Structures are given as structure tokens and as C-alpha cells.
């Protein structure tokens, strides 16, 4: 019996010839990511146990992306604590304020994260690693055991395969595919349990570049997938070779690998999707909801913060102004993308349109530390999810769309199909 | 790692039966316990199952066993498991979201999951005996015996040591003993 991609990676990192779903292994990660919001808790827990030295400080990536510009005295205190923690632990790979960007984006862009790699992360959106053909596993507060010992237990997950058929029409994007997939599962038009599964894409994937692959990773994470994997195309391998800071070995599922479920989705006639408030699963065709007035808009997050996402939005905003009642926040995924936006004149497009540029990182899509919504307001965004209270008042209504839909809606002041502009 | 051979893997006590799809927030502990980041067992205990079974904490005894339907502990959090561990309760579920199971193990709760149809074989108040190491489930009231998947070996060690913090404390003690001996 062959192995799926995740089984191969976990076997290789655990020094085993093979593994199967349900096996408990302790894989040796390529690196260990810890985000700004959990460093203080982890450091205090380890200190209380007398653990002051990390097993592999050289493998640790500390990332300031959740609360980048300190909207409160408490956040500033945490930033200062984190800098002392990095020094005390001897962590050299510390991507602090203004140094890297979003931890689930810049490592793929810069070649730190490469095909076939495996890493531990305290945050569940580590699933983005699948965009480049790698795996990032969320370990929550158990990141302390990884920091102390270099690993932690992992139960090998099952894999669900989703084969995409056809090409997206112009003006329809990868985020739309994710929203639609979630709605199909909710409506039982596709049947699979994603709890603690890896969702592996197959089929007509050549059309998707790195940013679209990151978008494909986003929504399954919100419906309980533990990992997402997109077999790397030649273009992705070329990017990894060009940017790669070390050699890598891409991994693909065997032809006779066993999948927990095998699904197929025709995307050739898909319309732009909007997820209605409450869940990513509440996706409908945009034509059903177009015209709903909006107050707040946001472009960014793990799923839609890469260069191509921002180019798509800028192309809609160019020469236009936001509707008078709308505020639009834009959080690029990385410092590199921010610099490129400036160099290529796109920063000016956003600013001329009236958008507010946020520092690279999570933006409002982290507990509303910046740019939140108020009760009664209506938001449309590319946030990872639209659960009540995701970025501000629980009584606000949060809609989700692709970067194109959000940009078009911010211009007209109501939910708008960008193809109609 | 060496573990504790005295650990009580067999629990004998009363059954508290719950249905399917119990959320952690609301179903296990009130949401404010979670959002308020309460992790002290003494603070959480009075509120365990407060919204579904008021007074549960005063009636339950060490060794009692919570039996649930499918999908127990949705919206995985640790708070309720901290209280269950401190009260000496066991947990037997038809199914749990994996991260809820991981949280229960990480808090040192004696737990079995994937126990197919277990809630058909017991009712609240029945006298149960569950061996969490071997997966044996006995309902003495109804004279029913079933066998379920036990905890994997690697996870037994975590439960025996009281959860993740206990495991790390033990690991650190061993490191120090090793370096002192070396």
C-alpha cells in the first residue's frame, strides 16, 4: 500500500520507512514557529518548570504578526517581553515588527519554507504551508513541549482528496473555490469529514500560482482540516529553487495511496462567492446578495495577503475612490510585498483610492487588535473566517469574498461583483 | 520515560450520560470561563456542566464516568478537562473532534474515544467500570461488557503524569538527573 504525501513526510521526519493513519510519531521539524501572542505564556510556563534552554533555538522562528503596531500599553509590554525572550532563548530568527510580515506568508515567499518540509506552529493557519507543498501542524499551547524537547507527538492524520475539474472563468478566484467547497460540504452535496484530516487537492491545479494556492488552503482550515496539501507544480518548484535557502525534496502521494474520501468539484462554471455572516460555509453566488450596503472592508489575512491578491485589488481600485461611507483596510502579507507595492506604484493606487494601509501581518483578522467593526456595521473582507466577533462586535455582520469582490464593494459601498465595474 | 506503575487506570463509579454534539463553551463550562482564561481547577470545578446539569460538581465523586454521544467537546478548549482531571473523573465518548481529544489527554484526563454506540449501553446512574489502559467497559447495573480502542501507549504516559505540564516537569527532572549523573 502506498502512502499519501502527509504520511511520507511524517515517516521521513520520524525516521520510519512508513506510517499509517492513527500511528503516533514524534517528527523532527524543519523549524518551529511561535507567534507574538503566545511567547509570553510559553516563556512563563517553561520558566516555571525551570526550563530555560530550548532544544533547538536555531530552528525557532519567532514572528510578530498578530499585534504588530501595539494598539495598547499591554501590547507594547508584550513586545518588550518577546524581545527579551528571544535574547534569553538565543533565537536568531526573530522576525519582529517590520522585519518579516505574516508568519504564514513570508516564509513561503522568501524560501524559508520549501516543498516537503514539516514544521510545528502554535497557530492553526499553519495549514498555509500546503501552498508550497509542505506541512505546518498546529500544536497550540503545546508548543512549549516542542520548544523544550524539539518535538511533540503527532497522530498521523487521514487524507481526503479533492479533485478540481476545469478552469476558473476570468474574475473568479481561488478564494471563491474554498467558500463554494465549504458550502457544498454543509449542504451534503459533497460528503467528507474534514476533522483532523489533511485535505489534498488534485486535478487541474496548474492554473494556480502560490498566492492562489494559499487561498485554497484557507477555507478548509476553518472547517476543521488539520492540514492542506497542494502537490507542487513545476512553477512552484521553480520558485522554491530560485528562493530556496537550502536543498529540498518535494513529496507527492503514491498512485496507490489510500484516501479517506475522494471528492470531485467542477469549478469551470463557478461564480464569485460571498460567505454570509456566521460561517465560511454560508457561501452563496454573489448575484444572490449583491447590493447589500457595506461600512467596513478589509483585504489581507493568511488567505489573501500575497502580491497577486493585492495586484488584483489595486487593478479594481486604480482611478477610483472608495464610497464615502466605507473604510477599507489593507494588510499586505509581507514586508517584501509592501516594498514591491511601493516600488511598482501600487501603494499609491491604494492610498489615492482612500484605503488605509496597515503593517504587514494579520490586520483586523486577529481579535480586532486593529481596524475593528462596531455593532450593527456590515463588513466585507478576505479574513480567514466570519464567525461572529471575529474582528469586533458580535452584533456586526461579517461577509467574506475574494480580494476582487472586496475591492469592488468598497468602491460602490455595496456588495458588488467586480466583473460588473 | 519511566512512568508511574501505581497509576489508577481502572475507574469504578456512576455514569453521567450526555447526548451528541456537546460544545465545550456552554455544554461543558460556561463561555466566560473560556474567554476569561480561567485555568485554576478550583475556579472551574463549581461551573463544570453548570448550564446543562446544575450542581454536577457537588454530586459527582472521584471515579465517576462521563459517557457522551458523538462529537463531544466541539470548539476544543482545555478548561473543562482541567476540572475533570482534578475531580478524578473519566470520559468515554462515541467520538470527539481530534483536538478536543488532544486537549483532554493534555490535561491528564482518562479518556476513551471512538467507542461506537457506547451511550446505548448505559444510562445515568448505572454503575460502570472502565479500564482506560485496556479499553474494557463494563456496566455492572446492566451486566454489559464491551471493548473499545485504548489510549495509544505514547499518550498513556502523558495521562499518567497528569498532562502536558506534568509530562514536561518529569522530563525536566530526568534531564537534570541525567546531567547530574553525567
CA distance A51 to chain B (A): 7
Hey, are the CB atoms on B172 and A145 less than 8 Å from each other?
Answer: no
Cα distance from A337 to chain B (closest Cα, Å)? Answer: 34
Which residue out of B70, B72, B102, B156 would a mutagenesis test of the A interface target, given it has the greatest number of A Cβ atoms within 10 Å?
A: B102
Q: How far is B82 from chain A (nearest CA, A)?
A: 14
Q: Where are the beta strands (DSSP E) in chain B?
A: 10-17, 65-68, 90-93, 110-112, 127-131, 136-139, 144-147
**What is the structure's pLDDT at B74?**
92
Q: How confident is the model at residue B5 (pLDDT cuts 50, 70, 90)?
A: low
* A55 closest CA partner among A119, A145, A148: A148
Q: What is the mean pLDDT of residues A237-252?
A: 95
pLDDT tens-digit readout, A255-296: 999 999 999 999 999 999 999 999 999 999 999 999 999 999
Q: What angle do CA A296, A300, A303 make, to 5 degrees?
A: 125
Q: Locate A416 and state its grid cell.
A: 458588488
β partners of residue A350 = none
A195 touches chain B (CB under 8 A): yes
ipTM score? 0.92
Q: How many CA atoms does the CB half-sphere of A135 hold within 13 Å? A: 32
- For residue B98, the chain A residues in CB contact (below 8 A) are 155, 157, 195-196, 226
Sequence-separated (6 or more) residues with CB below 8 Å from residue B101:
B73, B111, B113
Q: Quick one: DSSP state of residue B151?
A: P
Test B154 with A196 for CB contact under 8 angstroms. no
Cβ–Cβ contact B169 with A under 8 A: yes
Question: pLDDT tens digits, residue range A14-27?
Answer: 999 999 999 999 99
Mean pLDDT computed over A310-329:
98
Amino acid at each position: 500500500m502506498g502512502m499519501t504525501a502527509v504520511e511520507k513526510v511524517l515517516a521521513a521526519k520520524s525516521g520510519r520507512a512508513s506510517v499509517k493513519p492513527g500511528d503516533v510519531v514524534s517528527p523532527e521539524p524543519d523549524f518551529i514557529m511561535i507567534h507574538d501572542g503566545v511567547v509570553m505564556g510559553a516563556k512563563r510556563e517553561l520558566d516555571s518548570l525551570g526550563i530555560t534552554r530550548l532544544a533547538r533555538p536555531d530552528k525557532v522562528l519567532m514572528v510578530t504578526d498578530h499585534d504588530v503596531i501595539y494598539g495598547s500599553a499591554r501590547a507594547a509590554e508584550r513586545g518588550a517581553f518577546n524581545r527579551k525572550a528571544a535574547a534569553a532563548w538565543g533565537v536568531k530568527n526573530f522576525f519582529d515588527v517590520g522585519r518579516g510580515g505574516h508568519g504564514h506568508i513570508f516564509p513561503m515567499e522568501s524560501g524559508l519554507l520549501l516543498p516537503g518540509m514539516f514544521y510545528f506552529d502554535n497557530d492553526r493557519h499553519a495549514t498555509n504551508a500546503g501552498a508550497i507543498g509542505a506541512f505546518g501542524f498546529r500544536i497550540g499551547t503545546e508548543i512549549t513541549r516542542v520548544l523544550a524537547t524539539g518535538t511533540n507527538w503527532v497522530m498521523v492524520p487521514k487524507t481526503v482528496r479533492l479533485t478540481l475539474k476545469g478552469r476558473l472563468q476570468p474574475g473568479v478566484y481561488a478564494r471563491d473555490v474554498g467558500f463554494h467547497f465549504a458550502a457544498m460540504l454543509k449542504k451534503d452535496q459533497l460528503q467528507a469529514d474534514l476533522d483532523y484530516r489533511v485535505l489534498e487537492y488534485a486535478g487541474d491545479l496548474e492554473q494556480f500560482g502560490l498566492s492562489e494556492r494559499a487561498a485554497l488552503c484557507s477555507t478548509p482550515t476553518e472547517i476543521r482540516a488539520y492540514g492542506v496539501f497542494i502537490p507542487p507544480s513545476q512553477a512552484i518548484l521553480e520558485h522554491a529553487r530560485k528562493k530556496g535557502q537550502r536543498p529540498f525534496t518535494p513529496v507527492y502521494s503514491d498512485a496507490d495511496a489510500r484516501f479517506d474520501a475522494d471528492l470531485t468539484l467542477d469549478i469551470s462554471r463557478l461564480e464569485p462567492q460571498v460567505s454570509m455572516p456566521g460561517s465560511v460555509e454560508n457561501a452563496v453566488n454573489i448575484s444572490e446578495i449583491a447590493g447589500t450596503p457595506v461600512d467596513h472592508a478589509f483585504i489581507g489575512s493568511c488567505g489573501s495577503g500575497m502580491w497577486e491578491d493585492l495586484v488584483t485589488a489595486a487593478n479594481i481600485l486604480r482611478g477610483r475612490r472608495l464610497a464615502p461611507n466605507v473604510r477599507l483596510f489593507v494588510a499586505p502579507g509581507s514586508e517584501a510585498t509592501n516594498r514591491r507595492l511601493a516600488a511598482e506604484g501600487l501603494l499609491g493606487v491604494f492610498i489615492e483610492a482612500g484605503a488605509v494601509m496597515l503593517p504587514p501581518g494579520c490586520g483586523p483578522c486577529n481579535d480586532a487588535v486593529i481596524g475593528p467593526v462596531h455593532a450593527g456595521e456590515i463588513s466585507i473582507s478576505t479574513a480567514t473566517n466570519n464567525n461572529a466577533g471575529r474582528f469586533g462586535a458580535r452584533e456586526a455582520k461579517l461577509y467574506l469574498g475574494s480580494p476582487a469582490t472586496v475591492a469592488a464593494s468598497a468602491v460602490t459601498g455595496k456588495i458588488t461583483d467586480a466583473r460588473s465595474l | 520515560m519511566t512512568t508511574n506503575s501505581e497509576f489508577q487506570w481502572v475507574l469504578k463509579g456512576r455514569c453521567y450520560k450526555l447526548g451528541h454534539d456537546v460544545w465545550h463553551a456552554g455544554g461543558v463550562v460556561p463561555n466566560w470561563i473560556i474567554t476569561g482564561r480561567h485555568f485554576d481547577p478550583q475556579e472551574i470545578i463549581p461551573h463544570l456542566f453548570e448550564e446543562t446539569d446544575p450542581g454536577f460538581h457537588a454530586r459527582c465523586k472521584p471515579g465517576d464516568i462521563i459517557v457522551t454521544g458523538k462529537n463531544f467537546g466541539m470548539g476544543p478548549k482545555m478548561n473543562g478537562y482541567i476540572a475533570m482531571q482534578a475531580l478524578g473523573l473519566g470520559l468515554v465518548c462515541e467520538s470527539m473532534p481530534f483536538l478536543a481529544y488532544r486537549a483532554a489527554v493534555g490535561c491528564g484526563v482518562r479518556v476513551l474515544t471512538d467507542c461506537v454506540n457506547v451511550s446505548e449501553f448505559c444510562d445515568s446512574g448505572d454503575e460502570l467500570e472502565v479500564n482506560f489502559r485496556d479499553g474494557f467497559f463494563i456496566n455492572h447495573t446492566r451486566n454489559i461488557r464491551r471493548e473499545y480502542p485504548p489510549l495509544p501507549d505514547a499518550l498513556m504516559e502523558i495521562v499518567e503524569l497528569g498532562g502536558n505540564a506534568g509530562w514536561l516537569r518529569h522530563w525536566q527532572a530526568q534531564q537534570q538527573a541525567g546531567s547530574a549523573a553525567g
